[in-house]
């Protein structure tokens, strides 16, 4: 039933998107592909989760219809203008502000990595990476009990790479056919280094995600197509080979994939031999579906949170900052207790206690703070706002309004990873820093444009 439901919603969403936008790429289609696809895979029961929640099924149906309703309410028929005004072209050229911030961000991340190596491994890089699992636990403890001021500032500022990657993606689209200077891609390199030292996928997923999304939306607005290069069998084959090489290295070096296979091998619908192919399939299936199993376990548990502090889980970084500034006491039992329970909800025992998985969805945080009413209202608003912004940017060719476009990319990214994210609050730092960077970048461009100064020609490298 779940598989048929997910597949049906995907087909309907793609047809609606094609009718409304003349493209399959839209907020509605992305939302349905993520949640409908994950729900459909979950319904295949390739792993015997032994869980089925009518409450989740109804929630998925209601949120999808509300997202669709929000899309319809904000829709206005518009003719696509495939030609972009020259002023928009001029306003999006590279600026010293972007270059300087990219270099500063790179240096901050390098310094952050060096300090961590000295703190946890006395300056020995090899020892630092050999003890990655233990150091990750220490990172988690620091995030709960607080870092030193220097480390907190450096870690927070390191996330500037996300906003800068967004600008980089837009600029690279503006310069289609022209190679960007290497500094234009520096935020992506910074994100890679940050993820390497931080032992987490979040920074690199955020940076590359924002780069790709901003590039795709810009391509659609400027050239009426998502991908500007021609796909052929050689490029597809090369991508498949590259992905498998990366995955095989992870298979050899990381025991996580093998442990997942071992723990779930007796729970699969049919017996599979242990090798690279089967381990990859099973571990990826678990990754794509276990978050829904945890969500359903959370829903079925009927856990209720103390609502004394509004949005305690979702807005945890804000409350934490207010506590440090002495503005608000967030160390009370009602507040910290909610956070502890929320963390515990990510470790529900599945399959009779045989395995723990620390994957969750954005719904966990939303339901815990705002209940199902909040969940439904948020999806209605997401459908309305994302469609409104999508039309303004793509159909009106207003990509010079980078602040609006950044909000749209945030919604896109949230939709994409809401099925797999452990906590919404984890994204507050990168999202907020990106908002500040994009705001000032757009402001400087507008001030420069109003002075009549040339920002450069589109035929120049940025």
List, as one string, the DSSP characters of 77-121. Answer: ------S--HHHHHHTS--HHHHHHHHHHHHHHHHHHHHHHHHHH
Burial of 28 (0-12, 13-18, 19+ CB in 10 A): buried
* Distance from the Cα of residue 4 to its chain's centroid: 27
Neighbours of 358 (CB within 10 A): 12
pLDDT, residue 344, reads 39
Name the CA dihedral angle for 346, 190, 442, 386, rounded to a multiple of 10 degrees. Answer: -30
Residue 425 has φ and ψ, to the nearest 5°, of: -60, -25
SS3 content of the chain, % helix, strand, coil (to 5): 70, 0, 25
Residue 254, pLDDT score: 54
Strand partners, 268: 47
Residues 6+ apart with CB under 8 A from 450: none
Q: How many CB atoms lie within 10 A of CB 132?
A: 12
Beta bridge partners of 355: 350
CB 95 within 8 A of CB 445: yes
User: Residue 348: phi, psi to the nearest 5?
Assistant: -60, 140
Contacting residues for 355 by C-beta, under 8 A, at least 6 apart? 260, 263, 264, 349
For residue 128, what pLDDT is reported? 85
Are the C-beta atoms of residues 5 and 61 closer than 8 Å to each other? Answer: yes
280 with 257: CB under 8 angstroms? Answer: yes
Distance between CA 330 and CA 328 in Å, rounded?
6
Amino acid 448: pLDDT: 66
pLDDT tens per residue, the chain (462 residues)?
788 888 899 999 999 888 887 788 889 999 999 999 888 888 887 777 666 668 888 888 999 999 999 998 988 766 544 444 434 444 444 567 888 899 999 999 999 889 888 888 888 888 888 787 777 777 766 665 556 667 778 888 888 999 999 988 888 877 654 566 778 889 999 998 888 888 777 888 899 999 999 988 888 887 777 765 566 667 677 777 766 666 665 555 555 555 555 555 555 555 666 666 666 777 777 777 778 877 877 777 665 555 556 777 777 777 777 776 777 665 544 444 444 444 434 434 444 444 556 567 888 888 878 888 889 999 999 999 999 898 888 877 666 678 888 999 999 998 888 887 766 777 888 888 889 998 888 887 777 665 544 333 333 344
Q: Is 201 exposed, middle or buried (0-12, 13-18, 19+ CB in 10 A)?
A: exposed
CB 121 within 8 A of CB 131: yes
Determine phi and psi for 445, rounding to 5 degrees: -65, -40
Model-level pTM? 0.80
Predicted local confidence at residue 342, as pLDDT: 43
pLDDT at 190: 92
């Amino acid at each position: 039933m779940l598989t048929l439901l997910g597949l049906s919603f995907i087909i309907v969403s793609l047809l609606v998107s094609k009718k409304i936008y003349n493209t399959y790429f839209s907020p509605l289609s992305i939302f349905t592909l993520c949640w409908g696809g994950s729900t459909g895979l979950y319904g295949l029961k390739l792993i015997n989760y032994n869980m089925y929640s009518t409450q989740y099924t109804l929630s998925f149906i209601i949120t999808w219809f509300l997202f669709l309703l929000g899309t319809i309410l904000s829709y206005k028929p518009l003719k696509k203008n495939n030609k972009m005004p020259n002023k928009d072209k001029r306003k999006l050229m590279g600026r010293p502000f972007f270059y300087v911030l990219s270099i500063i961000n790179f240096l901050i991340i390098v310094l952050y990595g060096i300090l961590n190596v000295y703190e946890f491994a006395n300056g020995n890089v090899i020892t630092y990476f050999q003890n990655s699992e233990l150091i990750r636990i220490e990172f988690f403890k620091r995030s709960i009990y607080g870092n030193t001021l220097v480390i907190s500032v450096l870690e927070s500022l390191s996330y500037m790479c996300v906003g800068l990657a967004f600008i980089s993606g837009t600029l690279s689209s503006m310069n289609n056919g022209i190679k960007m200077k290497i500094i234009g891609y520096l935020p992506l390199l910074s994100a890679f280094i940050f993820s390497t030292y931080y032992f987490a996928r979040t920074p690199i997923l955020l940076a590359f995600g924002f780069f790709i999304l901003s590039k795709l939306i810009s391509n659609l607005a400027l050239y009426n197509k998502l991908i500007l290069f021609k796909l052929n069998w050689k490029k597809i084959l090369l991508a498949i080979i590259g992905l498998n090489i990366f995955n095989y290295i992870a298979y050899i070096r990381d025991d996580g994939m093998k442990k997942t296979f071992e723990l779930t091998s007796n729970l699969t619908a049919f017996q599979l031999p242990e090798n690279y192919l089967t381990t990859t399939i099973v571990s990826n299936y678990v990754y794509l579906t276990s978050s829904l199993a945890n969500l359903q376990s959370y829903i079925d548990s009927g856990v209720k949170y103390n609502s004394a502090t509004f949005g305690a889980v979702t807005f945890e970084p804000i409350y934490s900052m207010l506590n440090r500034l002495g503005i608000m006491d967030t160390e009370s039992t009602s507040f910290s207790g909610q956070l502890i329970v929320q963390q515990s909800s990510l470790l529900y025992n599945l399959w009779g206690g045989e395995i723990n998985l620390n994957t969750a969805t954005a719904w966990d945080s939303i339901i815990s703070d705002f209940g199902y009413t909040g969940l439904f209202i948020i999806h209605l608003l997401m459908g309305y706002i994302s469609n409104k912004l999508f039309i303004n940017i793509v159909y009106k060719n207003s990509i010079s309004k980078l602040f609006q476009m950044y909000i749209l990319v945030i919604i896109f990214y949230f939709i994409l990873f809401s099925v797999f994210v452990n906590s919404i609050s984890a994204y507050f730092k990168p999202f907020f820093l990106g908002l500040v960077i994009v705001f000032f970048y757009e402001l400087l461009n507008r001030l420069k444009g109003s002075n009549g100064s040339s920002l450069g020609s589109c035929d120049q490298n940025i």
